[in-house]
Amino acid sequence: MAGSGKAHMRPEGDRVLVVEDLTVEFKIAKDKVVKAVSGVSFDLIRGETLAVVGESGCGKSTLGKAILQLPKPTSGSVNFLSEELTTMSKHDLRERRPSMQMIFQDPVSSLDPRLPVSEVLAEPLKVWNKGNQVEIDAKIDELLNAVNLDPKVVRDRRSYEFSGGQCQRISIARSLALDPTMIICDEPVSALDVSVQAQILNLLQDMKDRYGLTLIFISHDLAVVKAVSTRVMVMYLGKVCEVAPPDELYLNTKHHYTKALVGSVPIPDPDRAVTKGLIMGEPPSPMNPPSGCRFRTRCPAATELCANEEPQLREVSLGHFVACHHPID
């Protein structure tokens, strides 16, 4: 029962990012609007890792890009380090860009195939005039060492000479170049082998501790999310379903959609019966979302109330919020 609401906001904390009622709509034809993100609110406390999970097309990547104003959201507010980004002038927004960075899903596509690694990493430094060539070179070596790549070996190579995991390390190094406050990781390990995933996740954790970062971690992989996050936000069709710390979310699932998601994580045990029939079918079209709770069309517990009234996020236990009229006991 995906809904809105702000019960999960924490105004007393040291908040890096406050997103309120964020809506992103894409006009695809005359009077045809895709509602990718509808009224999402959340906040991010310094040093925390917020995981955003949901199936493909639920608007999690769009949410990440909208926070960076690429493109600007249709409505709502994005408050970063106590400054409103949505109404900011182009020039001012550009000045804020170094403190918020993004890492993308496709590691190969994230790097310009024509530029050697040294140029890729020098780009942010040159754009912001961070020192002369000697200082930039020193910084590049420091960044490469930080992500466990040997500067002497990799400096002059181009992206197509690396594996996916290595490309992702370079992307991470690039996002660290400007000493950001917050990094939005958009499915950073989805395209990688499982063994490499662990390396990259460990690396992100190390970097977070070392540089004092605040992370938004967008993913569809619940196992990955459990390993990295301090708070998980489950999204369905552009709305927030449930917000909770990861252990609480897995042990004490309240939302029917989250339950389906958790249940669909494959368990490597051949004797175990395959869990079937958790939720059926495809998500409804974001062009014409269901009334009330957006999950009601696939929800086993849906009643008439769900069709008429949109559920609001409410606290069910300490730090655990759910937007559902009929939460799981």
Residues at the site binding other proteins, with contacts judged by CB under 8 A: 65, 68, 70, 94-95, 97-98, 100-102, 104-106, 108-114, 123-124, 127-128, 148-150, 153-154, 157-164, 166, 169, 171, 174-175, 177-178, 199, 202-203, 206
Residue closer to other proteins (CB basis): 92 or 247: 92
Residue closer to other proteins (CB basis): 42 or 104: 104
Q: 186 near 61, Cβ under 8 Å?
A: yes
**φ, ψ dihedrals at 40, nearest 5°:** -90, 135
Q: Minimum distance from CB of 239 to other proteins (Å)?
A: 25
Q: Minimum distance from CB of 310 to other proteins (Å)?
A: 33
Residue 329 vs residues 37, 101, 307: alpha-carbon distances, Å: 28, 39, 21
Q: Minimum distance from CB of 295 to other proteins (Å)?
A: 30
Residue closer to other proteins (CB basis): 61 or 229: 61
Residue closer to other proteins (CB basis): 22 or 100: 100
Residue closer to other proteins (CB basis): 36 or 261: 36
Residue closer to other proteins (CB basis): 100 or 189: 100
Q: Minimum distance from CB of 172 to other proteins (Å)?
A: 11
Assign 3-class secondary structure to 112-164: CCCCEHHHHHHHHHHHCCCCCHHHHHHHHHHHHHHCCCCHHHHCCCEHHHCCH
Per-position DSSP letters for 10-23, written without gaps between them: -TTS-EEEEEEEEE
Residue closer to other proteins (CB basis): 46 or 158: 158
Q: Minimum distance from CB of 105 to other proteins (Å)?
A: 8
What burial letters (b/e) apply to 190-221, b meaning 16+ CB within 10 Å? ebbeeebbebbbebbeebbeeeebbbbbbbbe
Q: What span, in angstroms and rounded, lies between the C-alpha atoms of 198 and 200? A: 5
Q: What span, in angstroms and rounded, lies between the C-alpha atoms of 103 and 164? A: 13
- What six digits make up the tokens of 282? 């495809």
Q: H-helix or E-strand containing 248?
A: helix 246-251
Work out the widest C-alpha separation in the chain, in whole angstroms: 68
Q: Minimum distance from CB of 165 to other proteins (Å)?
A: 8
Beta strands in 155-199 (DSSP E): 182-186
Question: Nearest 10 degrees: CA dihedral of 133, 134, 136, 137?
Answer: 110
Q: Minimum distance from CB of 167 to other proteins (Å)?
A: 8
